[in-house]
A = this chain, B = another copy of it.
Amino acid sequence: MDLKKMVLEKAKSAKDASYKLLHVTTEKKNEALKLIADELEKSRQEIKAINEKDLENGKKKKLSSAFIDRLTLSDKRIDTMIKNCHDVAKLKDPVGEVTKEWTVPSGLKITKRRMPLGVVGIIFESRPNVCIEASTLTLKSGNSVILRGGSDAINSNIFVAGLIKNGIKKAGLPGGAVEIIEETDRKTILHLVKIKQFVDVIIPRGGLELIRFVEENSVIPVIRHDLGVCHVYVDKEADIDMAVKIAFNSKVQRPGVCNAMETLLVHKDVIDAFMPKIAAEYKKAGVELRACPEIKRAAGLMSIYDAGLKDAGEEDWEKEYLDLILAVKSVGSAEEAIEHINNHGSHHTDSIVTGNAETAEKFLAGVDSGSVMVNASTRFSDGNEYGLGAEMGISNQKLHVRGPMALEGLTSEKFVIYGTGQVRE
């Protein structure tokens, strides 16, 4: 098969559909989302049977149990996929929103109006539920999507994408609104990221190696979600009990995700008051600490922690452990904390604990991250927790969209100009 031609045809079909979607009402899009939910419900047994093929292949390939878990479409996961369709149907349609309008001296009325991006290429790895998560958001925001999943879930992906297409067609919308690349040869990624005449944005979802590969090769703009090296900074004016709660929750509540804290910064004036308290909690939870010398000297800390208290090396300040390991560093001021975060973090999510509003504002303005917080756990950095209703991913970059992205991130604003016959002198 000519892979390049195949990918090009899928992209062309998605582009053609995207132009048709510009004229589709919100009601029609919601109807399609409900019809997709119906298709999933009706085909529940078939989904599981086909998913079983991928699971068997995975077991033959001796994939890890965590990997097999991500591949699995259980009844509970299918329930979530169905709920996802209904939830997205309830969200506000961003398309057509007039974000600004004004009139200029020539008499032209200038408006900025939110419109779909067009065609979104999603390149993902194991989880077949991404097919639903991505398609529902792109459809609601008037975009076409091209799904390019990994080989481990390919049977599930193809089947689920087929169900989505059925739902879309039953609603009278163009089937090209959701296309799936059925071949998993890596060359299909290389072809996809070059078709800038038909594809408007590429969103890689997966490990760092995939993201770097896409970033290096794409001529299409990429929305990138890579590392989450998140910080909590305990200021000298922090409420110590609040700081203990937030530092504990940010690290321990779910350590394997991108919005978990990886480095704790502590103002030197509160080391003695704060460290023994948090260390006692961390010890119970089995957290390994890697600390700078000032932290290690904290009153009573060595007697609480012994083997679990290690020396931090320079490399620890940039590590995304995704595990019960934490780097801890003393800083002399909020400014030093900000500087450390900007130079060593990943511009994802960083939080300050302080009772001083001025220090808080300095931190919120100065820390260059997608999400900055005061007196809250970094674990809140999430589309659902922010009330976006869903999440397409979390952007680590600064162009177009920062932090958790959902429907609005899948649109951009164009200028719509109303004249009465004006010409330029």
Interface flag for A370 (CB, 8 Å): yes
The answer for the CA separation of A183 and B222 in the assembled complex, in Å, is 30
Does A362 contact B23, Cβ atoms closer than 8 Å?
Answer: yes
Segment of A104-112, A128-136, A270-278, A292-300 engaged in the interface with chain B: A104-112
The answer for the CA separation of A19 and B221 in the assembled complex, in Å, is 25
In the bound complex, residues from chain B placing their C-beta under 8 Å from that of A204 are: none
Does B423 contact A245, Cβ atoms closer than 8 Å?
Answer: yes
A181-219 to B contact mask, C-beta < 8 Å, 1/0? 000000000000000000011000000000000011001
A375 to chain B, nearest CB (A): 4
Does A22 contact B368, Cβ atoms closer than 8 Å?
Answer: yes
In the bound complex, residues from chain B placing their C-beta under 8 Å from that of A381 are: 415
The answer for the CA separation of A365 and B115 in the assembled complex, in Å, is 8
Interface flag for A373 (CB, 8 Å): yes
In the bound complex, residues from chain B placing their C-beta under 8 Å from that of A376 are: 108, 417-419, 421-423
A157-181 to B contact mask, C-beta < 8 Å, 1/0? 0000000000000000000000000
A317 to chain B, nearest CB (A): 14
- Tell which of B239, B246, B420, B424 touches A379, judged by Cβ atoms closer than 8 Å: B424
A405 to chain B, nearest CB (A): 11
Which of A22, A249, A366, A370 has the most C-beta atoms of chain B within 10 angstroms of its own C-beta? A22
Does B380 contact A424, Cβ atoms closer than 8 Å?
Answer: yes
In the bound complex, residues from chain B placing their C-beta under 8 Å from that of A248 are: 423
In the bound complex, residues from chain B placing their C-beta under 8 Å from that of A200 are: 398-399
A406 to chain B, nearest CB (A): 12
In the bound complex, residues from chain B placing their C-beta under 8 Å from that of A415 are: 370-372, 381, 386, 402-404
Interface range for A:
35 or more
- Tell which of B108, B339, B373, B412 touches A401, judged by Cβ atoms closer than 8 Å: B412
The interface residues of chain A, by DSSP majority, are classed as mixed
Interface flag for A400 (CB, 8 Å): yes
In the bound complex, residues from chain B placing their C-beta under 8 Å from that of A397 are: 221
Interface flag for A316 (CB, 8 Å): no
A106-123 to B contact mask, C-beta < 8 Å, 1/0? 101010010101100000
Does B221 contact A422, Cβ atoms closer than 8 Å?
Answer: no
User: Which 6 A-B pairs have CB atoms at the shortest separation, nearest pair first?
Assistant: A376-B419, A249-B423, A400-B400, A373-B417, A221-B399, A379-B424
Q: Contacts A19-B368, A375-B420, A400-B400 given; 14 further ones with Cβ under 8 A?
A: A19-B338, A19-B366, A22-B365, A115-B368, A117-B399, A221-B400, A250-B423, A364-B416, A371-B414, A372-B416, A374-B417, A375-B419, A376-B423, A403-B414
26 interchain pairs, CB-CB under 8 A: A19-B366, A22-B366, A115-B368, A117-B399, A201-B399, A215-B219, A221-B397, A221-B399, A242-B421, A245-B421, A246-B421, A246-B423, A248-B423, A249-B424, A250-B423, A369-B414, A371-B414, A371-B415, A371-B417, A375-B418, A375-B420, A375-B421, A376-B423, A398-B412, A400-B400, A402-B414
